[in-house]
Structure 1
Amino acid sequence: MADIIIIGGGIIGLSSAYYLSKQGHQITVIDKGDLTDNCSFGNAGMIVPSHFVPLAAPGMIRQGIRWMFDSKSPFYVKPSLGGGLPAWGLTFLKKSTQRHVEESALPLRDLSLLSKQLFQDLAKEPDFDFELRNNGILAFYKTEKAAEEEAHLAKRAIELGLDMAVLSKAECEALQPKLKLDVLGAVHYRCDAHLYPVKLMQALIKYLEQKGVKIVRNQEVTRMTTNGSQISSVFTGTKEWKADQYILATGSWSPAVAKLLGLNISLMPGKGYSFMEDEPQQRMSIPALLCEARVAITPMNGQIRYGGTMEIAKINSQVNMNRVEGIVASVPKYFPDLTPAVPALKDIWYGFRPSSPDGLPYIGRSPKLNNLVVATGHGMMGLSLGPATGLLVSQLVSGQRPEIDIQAFLPQR
């Protein structure tokens, strides 16, 4: 059995620790925070085999340019000559093709379906009650254009073996009769599920520490040393850590950490916002995606979580209230009886989605350092793809054949 250091304590790092611990390895997880509020906690909690279309897709460039001039729009790229954005942007432009979408569909489907099955298995384990619900997700639309796009997506999904159905407004109302709708209809992503991220993360942390996994909090990796084609040690300040194998699972901070090893990982943080409101009437049981507004709404923990936006920019602590107000304003346009208030600044959560330029995660061994496995770049699907990525990482570390083909996700692609 090997000594393994996992850098990063989000869903990807903890999922990797979970499956590696089952193989009997000695594991240390190092995180620069306290593991209470990273991107894995405040997301929409959606498990999404339906999301087989990567961010880099036809139409995103044109739509993104239009959104650039709307301060409340759901997508924004802040112009910058630094921080890796020019190279990221060029690759994004190059990959925004129909061919890339078609080539990505099967790998993303397989990764997502594997992850969903692993979530189902995990939910059966003792002390792993994280409110997993298999109700699917409803993608609501108000315009004929969005209806056409969703119908096309559903047709392709069915061809890929995914369970989806196009519903009329009346059929949507029958599923959640207490919820008033102002929509044309929706596509029911029956293949999807949802959970409560906070409970999931807490359960993982508790399990790992009970199994002897060492979790080092509030320690930032500041230096890494190599010997030939191997990492020899990592440093958090003056403290040195050594292992046989290393896992890079640092989300949006991955480019900076990789740079310590002389490696380049093309990735930009995509800031997203969310907030919670009480919902004593429990009118919503199926999560919603508001197609035109790009807003996600999820019932969880007796409340409703509203989330959205994708701000591609450097990591920063600023809260753009215009974006938050955009989320709030969009909700009653679809659900007249759901009228969330603009939350106070202290109640707004934000996190940084690690977004690769082609919209696919990086999963695989480093081509330059043979004792390093990279697991990052999952964009908006980090939580959804966490278990599958963790399992694949454990198989790579142990020299086993990966559960699925990972060629599309290799760091050197």
Structure 2
Amino acid sequence: MSSSNRAVIIGGGVIGGCTAYYLSRKGWDVTLVEKDQFGQGASWGNCGLVVPSHVLPLNTPGNLKSGLRWILQRDAPLYIQPTLNPRRIGWFMKFALRCRKKEVHRTTMARAALLQRALELYEDIIGREQMACDWKRQGALHVFRSAREFKKFREVDAVSRRFGMGAEIVHPPDLAAHEPALQSGLSGGWYDPFVARLRPDRFMTELKRVLIDFGVTISEKTIFYGFQKKSGKASAVMTSRGPVEGDKFLVATGAWTRLLHRELEIALPIEPGKGYSITMEPSPGLPRTPCFFEERRVVATNWESGFRIGSTMEFSGYNSFLNPVRINSLTRGVLPYLKNVPALRNGEAWYGWRPMTYDGLPVIDFLPKFTNVMVAAGHDTVGISMAPQTGRLVAELLSGEPPSVDPEPYSLSRF
């Protein structure tokens, strides 16, 4: 590495945090700037599943068909708020065009590259740094009420198998033995052994501890205003606490990235996809295995420290309203699957904005107007899963090292 090894990261979510981790291990002097609290954005309240087998993007022909059926239902798994905004309409049209089989194949290959080593990388970080974050590699169960949907999942599994991550069929008579919390009368399940879970808020708390131990400066409640620029390069980040100088920079601001088009001198096609969750204390009779309740697109994760249900996808812009209709849809979503549903009204409701691109791939690239500034954003619903490999890749690129993953599919040139 050259003597220029000061890195400034804008964004304290899981992508920025993992990048700071890998840069620190390479000997960089890292400063991380966060407008709120480290780790308390979309990284905080998701269901905490690391899913390397989830290589298919959201935009597939089947999801497009379902989405059109659900599009105006406020309590459906996917809700799109009606809009006359030309930019948002254009984004959804491009999303639909990326649902063609050729595009899905290209996207799947690129997603797999960031996902395949997720379990290995997490186990290295968590084990090496002795993190207490409810990590457990126990797989997950995809559960179906519909016999038709149960059989159709074979197509999804066939894609995962191409990358060595196939699931196992669980026929109805065996479901109760596999997961006693499930109701009888279900059509079957698929057990995916290539899934681990962690508690994301605890992981982010532990990651912050590790970064501070490594000497990373974390500046919270610090607003990013832009870059000082000289000869096509950034020399410092302008913030509400004054300038922060650096040699290389990373923008890892998740769903907020599109709003920074003036500061970055480029408009990135990232839309906020709002997800919800409810968290409660652990209690008897809850699933012991993470479950995907497929027809309702609801996920349930059980840790020693709590139980969480979450999911849904709401496109309503930068809307901070905690929509009770969407929260109630989570509650109703688990009713047809579980024997005993806890008093979810006593749980803690949360929402977060997933950073969605219209082609299902993140942006990991240098900005055209700044030769020493990278952006890493747009990881949609698998930010937790993609974070270690993304952080590793960005650290390699900033360090001028051969990349462990081909970065070309995540280039800005595709837009």
What's the TM-score, normalizing by structure 1? 0.95
Mapped pair 1:323 → 2:326: yes
Q: Secondary structure at the match of 1:333?
A: coil
Mapped pair 1:370 → 2:394: no
Aligned to 2:395: 394
Aligned to 1:124: 127
- Report Cα offsets for 1:132-161 as digits up to 9, x if no partner: 211111111111231122111112222331
Aligned to 1:306: 309
Equivalent of 2:199, from 193, 196, 199?
196
Aligned to 2:382: 381
Q: Which amino acid aligns with 1:403?
A: S
Aligned to 1:146: 149
Q: Which amino acid aligns with 1:390?
A: G
The 2-side partners of 1:230 and 1:82 are apart by: 34
- Report Cα offsets for 1:150-204 as digits up to 9, x if no partner: 1111122223311311211222222223544442111111111111112210111
Q: Secondary structure at the match of 1:296?
A: strand
Q: Which runs of 5+ in 2 are unaligned?
A: none
Mapped pair 1:109 → 2:138: no
The 1-side partners of 2:136 and 2:217 are apart by: 31
Range with greater deviation from structure 2 (210-219 or 130-139):
130-139
Matches within 5 A, 1:224-235: 224-235=227-238
Aligned to 1:292: 295
The 2-side partners of 1:315 and 1:200 are apart by: 26
The 1-side partners of 2:276 and 2:121 are apart by: 27
- Report Cα offsets for 1:191-246 as digits up to 9, x if no partner: 11111112210111001111110000001112333234222332123612221111
Equivalent of 2:209, from 206, 211, 215?
206
**Runs in 1 of length 4+ with deviation above 6 angstroms?**
none
The 2-side partners of 1:351 and 1:182 are apart by: 34
Range with greater deviation from structure 2 (392-401 or 218-227):
218-227
- Cα 1:284–1:268 change in 2 (3 A) is same
Equivalent of 2:71, from 68, 73, 84?
68
- Report Cα offsets for 1:13-40 as digits up to 9, x if no partner: 0000000000111111001002252111
Given that 1:396 and 1:402 are in contact with CA atoms closer than 8 Å, whether structure 2 keeps it comes out as yes
Given that 2:13 and 2:39 are in contact with CA atoms closer than 8 Å, whether structure 1 keeps it comes out as no
Structure 1 residue 261: Cα displacement: 2.4
Q: Secondary structure at the match of 1:272?
A: strand
The 2-side partners of 1:337 and 1:269 are apart by: 33
Given that 2:181 and 2:340 are in contact with CA atoms closer than 8 Å, whether structure 1 keeps it comes out as no
- Report Cα offsets for 1:304-354 as digits up to 9, x if no partner: 10101111121121011111111101112011322443357xx21110000
Structure 1 residue 83: Cα displacement: 8.5
Mapped pair 1:335 → 2:338: yes
Equivalent of 1:38, from 20, 38, 41?
41
What's the TM-score, normalizing by structure 2? 0.94
Structure 1 residue 283: Cα displacement: 4.0
The 2-side partners of 1:401 and 1:105 are apart by: 23
Q: Which amino acid aligns with 2:123?
A: Q
Matches within 5 A, 1:151-166: 151-166=154-169
CA RMSD of aligned residues (A): 1.8
- Cα 1:283–1:64 change in 2 (3 A) is closer
Matches within 5 A, 1:177-192: 177-192=180-195
The 2-side partners of 1:83 and 1:355 are apart by: 17
Q: How high is the sequence identity, in percent, across the aligned residues?
A: 28
Q: Which runs of 5+ in 1 are unaligned?
A: none
Q: How many residues align?
A: 411
- Cα 1:258–1:210 change in 2 (3 A) is farther
The 2-side partners of 1:258 and 1:42 are apart by: 27
- Cα 1:281–1:251 change in 2 (3 A) is same
Aligned to 1:51: 54
Mapped pair 1:89 → 2:92: yes
- Cα 1:359–1:76 change in 2 (3 A) is same
Aligned to 2:351: 350
Structure 1 residue 43: Cα displacement: 0.4
- Cα 1:330–1:261 change in 2 (3 A) is closer
Q: Which amino acid aligns with 1:277?
A: M
Given that 1:280 and 1:302 are in contact with CA atoms closer than 8 Å, whether structure 2 keeps it comes out as no
- Report Cα offsets for 1:264-318 as digits up to 9, x if no partner: 2100001111111223326422101111101010012432101011111211210
Range with greater deviation from structure 2 (69-78 or 383-392):
69-78
Given that 1:365 and 1:396 are in contact with CA atoms closer than 8 Å, whether structure 2 keeps it comes out as no
Structure 1 residue 260: Cα displacement: 1.2
Equivalent of 1:239, from 203, 226, 242?
242
Given that 1:176 and 1:283 are in contact with CA atoms closer than 8 Å, whether structure 2 keeps it comes out as no
Given that 1:182 and 1:334 are in contact with CA atoms closer than 8 Å, whether structure 2 keeps it comes out as no
Q: Which amino acid aligns with 1:329?
A: R
